[in-house]
Amino acid sequence: MCIGHGLSRRRFLAGAGALSLAGGCDGGFPIDLVSDDRIEAMGLEAWQQMHTGTRRSDDADLQRALDTVAGRLLTAAGERTDAWEAVVFEGPEINAFALPGNKIGVFEGLFGVVGNLDQLAAVVGHEIGHLQAEHGHERVNTQVAKDLGLRVIAFLLQQGDVQFAAEIAAALGLGVEFGLVLPYSRNQELEADRLGLQIMASGGYDPAQAVDLWRRMEAAGGPRAPAFLATHPAPAQRIEAIEAMLPEIRAG
């Protein structure tokens, strides 16, 4: 097992015990059960699996639009654009995702819902927000703790090196191809929304377009709702929260 920041076994068990008494991890995990390096490596491995199992889109216009939006947003967020990769994947899925290791994927189907580059920026900004806030790291650690439990973790610590590959794959939330889809917590979603709106505004995009995006997402539902909605709160709740954030975002 990888335990980050030189965490001793005694400190880990004490922290895990305190966590179990606290009754949840919605606001983030207080200690690292899996190191940042390990989580990033799993994210990059999942990214390679995506390229193996799913073709990159041949639509140069879609990739160009994503490159333009991602480049502006990353610059606005203070990130080095050459340290990130954003790819359009082939497929009708109305979905996007972000992986540790600075990887963003958008499926072709999402472009059929977004009405303009500002709305695409709302999606990409949201995903950048997740990565900057290290929500993937939090989710991996939370999932490992939930799945294994304090007693099992203590036992495994005594047994030596354990790689939580299955839990990490599931916690990264790539869907049925790579693991069980696990939604981010409401707090994480709201934080990613707020960060995304701030990045949009700094990058010269209209943050109010995020409201229109979620209305279009809701309208695209029907018998088979967009995959993007499966891991997010209901559009009505999301719209209400975003509208409440907009005055502060506009005020800078």
8 A C-beta contact, residue 95 and residue 220: no
pLDDT of residue 172: 47
pLDDT at 146: 60
> What's residue 147's pLDDT?
57
What ranges do the domains of the chain cover? Answer: 9-251
Whole-model pTM over 0.75: no
Q: What is the pLDDT of residues 76-95, one digit of tens each?
A: 999 999 999 999 999 998 88
pLDDT of amino acid 216: 93
Other CB atoms closer than 10 Å to residue 113's CB: what's the count?
A: 17
Q: What is the pLDDT of residues 174-207, one digit of tens each?
A: 333 333 334 556 777 888 889 999 999 999 999 9
Label residue 134 exposed, middle or buried (CB < 10 Å: 0-12, 13-18, 19+).
middle
Residue with tokens 């354990």: 162
Q: How far apart are CA 18 and CA 208, in angstroms?
A: 41
Nearest Cα to Cα of residue 102 among 32, 55, 43, 34 = 43
For the annotated catalytic residues, the residue numbers are 127
C-alpha–C-alpha distance, residues 147 and 159, integer Å: 18
Non-local (6+) Cβ contacts of 177 within 8 A are: 49, 53, 54
Q: Which residues contact 49 (CB under 8 A, 6 or more apart)?
A: 177, 178
Give the pLDDT confidence score for residue 158 in this predicted structure: 45
Which of 4-18, 24-38, 218-232 bottoms out in mean pLDDT, i.e. has the lowest?
A: 4-18
Q: Does the pLDDT at position 51 exceed 90? A: no
Query: Which of these, 41, 42, 217, lies nearest to 126 by C-alpha position?
Result: 217
- Residue 180 near residue 174 (C-beta atoms within 8 A): no
Q: Is residue 44 classed exposed, middle or buried when 0-12, 13-18 and 19+ CB atoms within 10 A define those classes?
A: middle
CB within 8 Å of 20: residues ≥ 6 apart: 150
Say what the pLDDT of residue 197 is.
97
Nearest to 7 by CA among 43, 38, 31, 30: 31
In the structure, what pLDDT confidence band is assigned to residue 75 with cuts at 50, 70 and 90? Answer: very high
Per-residue pLDDT, averaged over 88-113, amounts to 92
DSSP string of 125-141?
A: HHHHHHHHTTHHHHHHH
Burial class (CB in 10 A: 0-12, 13-18, 19+), 69: buried
Helix, strand, coil abundance in the chain, percent, nearest 5? 60, 5, 35
